[in-house]
Amino acid sequence: MRIAITGASGNAGTALLRRLQEASRDRPGGLELVGISRRAPDSSQPPYAGVEWHTLDVGAADTRQDLARAFAGADAVVHLAWQIQPNRNLQELHRTNVAGTANMLAAAREAGVSHVVCASSVGAYSKAPKDRRVDESWPAGGMAGSHYSRDKAEQEKLLDRFAADNPSITVARLRPGLIFQAKAGSEIGRYFLGWVHPRFVPRRPALPILPIPEELVFQAVHADDVADAYWRVLERKAGGAFNVAAEPVVTPQNLARLFSARRILPVPVRALHAFVGATWRLRLQQTDSGWVEMAAGAPVMDTRRIRDELGWEPRTPSLEAIREVIEGMGRGAGVPASPPLKPRRSLLGLIRRS
């Protein structure tokens, strides 16, 4: 079985390579893995070793033929390539995220791939109440105030059209909650807090008071559990949408326990939205206010389909995944062989370089 993976050196991609290499050892004949990324990892280091690498920009207008060549002979393509920064250049993000998905789909069809598996997100869903869970039939129309959500919803429409136009190709999409692992600590810190702030994130933060909106209820999952979900979809050539999240649902109450906060200070969503927007415009941090809108509006997903049909069960509870990434952020954890996951430089290292 030959599997091509776009975005193979990132957070989910690195975890997926680990899972596929584990599966390959237990499978007669093993698996052939093809990695596609904008920046090549060090292919002498695990889990990037033993992978056929192609350095390609999926969003480039002239990349479809190169992608088709990279996909040649593949039984399945897993599309993980996605760009979060720079979120001050929405045209660049749309080029990678939406045009890149269109390029991948066209190349997969040209290469004769029979199974396309795409990374969608809980962020693709339209706004929903938090007092009940929604299954995969909930509308994937996105939330207008979030560029991430808009792009994910547009990606979903591309997948819908592609599946309708190509009935011989099985199309699957995974809609995970927030994906965390310790080795993504530096990457997540850079993406959402910037280059300076993660240096001051303690490994085990303790807050006397946690100011947080009551609506900030969301779901998370460990990268290794998401990787296992992808493998189960690939192994069984499953199609359709799958919600992917670990338990428990993350609430202000269990976040307060996680941060050892003595009490919760309820904050209106609009106030947090304004604060995040102002500090982003002042370039004090990297998170635009659309992420607040998406977090407050995203549904609580029902994950019964992937559990019942594919036997998927997460090994790591959601709060442990969050604890792990915060600890990884605090110590500057990463994967030296991967450009996206490169560890944060220490302050002492920066001083020595200056």
Mean predicted confidence (pLDDT) in 149-169: 98
Decide if pLDDT at 46 tops 70: yes
User: Residue 351: its pLDDT value, please?
Assistant: 41
* Rounded Cα distance, 334 and 183, in Å: 4
User: Residue 344: its pLDDT value, please?
Assistant: 82
SS3 label, residue 72: coil
* Rounded Cα distance, 307 and 229, in Å: 9
User: Residue 198: its pLDDT value, please?
Assistant: 55
User: Residue 347: its pLDDT value, please?
Assistant: 47
User: Could you tell me the sign of the dihedral formed by the alpha carbons of 187, 191, 196, 199, in that order?
Assistant: negative
User: Which amino acid is residue 142, in one-letter code?
Assistant: G
The tens digit of pLDDT for each residue in 75-110 reads 999 999 999 999 999 999 999 999 999 999 999 999
* Rounded Cα distance, 350 and 328, in Å: 19
User: Residue 207: its pLDDT value, please?
Assistant: 81
For the chain, the average pLDDT equals: 93
The tens digit of pLDDT for each residue in 132-143 reads 999 999 999 999
User: Residue 354: its pLDDT value, please?
Assistant: 40
What tokens does 287 get? 């998170």
The tens digit of pLDDT for each residue in 236-292 reads 999 999 999 999 999 999 999 999 998 999 999 999 999 999 999 999 889 999 999
**For residues 141, 178, 223 and 29, what is the CA-based torsion angle, rounded to 10 degrees?**
0
Q: What is the largest CA-CA distance in the chain?
A: 58
Decide if pLDDT at 352 tops 80: no
* Rounded Cα distance, 156 and 31, in Å: 28
Stretch among 96-105, 191-200, 208-217, 293-302 having the lowest mean pLDDT: 191-200
* Rounded Cα distance, 85 and 193, in Å: 11
Decide if pLDDT at 22 tops 50: yes
Beta bridge partners of 174: 119, 242
DSSP per-residue letters across 184-245 = GHHHHHHHHT-SSGGGG--SS---SEEEE-TT--B-EEEHHHHHHHHHHHHHHT--EEEEE-
Domains along the sequence of the chain with CATH? 2-177+221-244 (3.40.50.720), 180-218+249-299+314-346 (no CATH)
User: Could you tell me the sign of the dihedral formed by the alpha carbons of 120, 122, 128, 134, in that order?
Assistant: positive
Read off the pTM. 0.94
- The CA–CA distances, whole Å, from 171 to 114, 231, 259, 330, 332 equal 9, 14, 40, 39, 37
Beta bridge partners of 234: none
